[in-house]
Amino acid sequence: MTKAGSIAMVLYWYQGLSGWVELGLDIPRVPVNTAMHLAIGWINSGDEDLSGHITLSITKPDGSEVELSAVLNQDKTASPSNGRTVQFEPVGLDQDGTYNATAVLTETGEEAALDESTFSFALVSAAAIDISALVGMVMVVMMLGVVMTQMEGT
């Protein structure tokens, strides 16, 4: 009998998104002064029940570190081939630059890490995010103008 587990996914959400988004290979670009919510999903890859504990620390662009507190599903048990998603308190993103995060999965009450995952996200000004959307909207308006002009001519 072995106890084993792995971090399977990282989810994030902030005001303006329609729902939770899985963190992929692309680093998300988040607006300034955003409260970002994070959740870490883990899987029991062993052959006996596992009570999992996730620690999550964020390093801000200035080098300061924040350890987030879990608000949902911390220290819950999962049977083999099942898992849990641990949700954390929001972190305030108030500095321009790249934020780095480290999530560590341990068995509840133990210190030895079963798995560790690092990921990043970037904080950018709203203007930098909105410029691509603005260009897209301008193109749509220009195309609608062409279509309307053609319709008036018929």
Q: Where are the domains of the chain?
A: 5-128
Q: Once rounded to an integer, what is the mean pLDDT over residues 40-66? A: 96
CATH code for the structural domain at 5-128: 2.70.50.30
Chain-centre distance for alpha carbon 72 = 16
Which carries the bigger pLDDT value, residue 2 or residue 7?
7
Average confidence score pLDDT of the chain: 83
Q: What is the per-residue pLDDT across 68-107, written as a single tens digit (0 to 9) for each?
A: 999 999 999 999 999 999 999 999 988 888 899 999 999 9
Q: State both tokens at 34.
A: 């955003």
pTM: 0.77
Residue 56, pLDDT > 90, answer yes
Q: Once rounded to an integer, what is the mean pLDDT over residues 107-124? A: 90
Alpha-carbon span 73 to 84, nearest angstrom:
7
Residues in Cβ contact with 2 at an 8 Å cutoff, skipping those fewer than 6 apart:
46, 47, 48
Alpha-carbon span 129 to 119, nearest angstrom:
21
Alpha-carbon span 69 to 13, nearest angstrom:
16
- DSSP β-ladder status, 50-59 and 77-78: antiparallel
Alpha-carbon span 74 to 89, nearest angstrom:
12
Tell me the C-alpha to C-alpha distance, in Å, between residue 21 and each of 14, 71, 116, 122: 10, 18, 20, 15
Shortest CA distance to 22 belongs to which of 85, 77, 76? 85
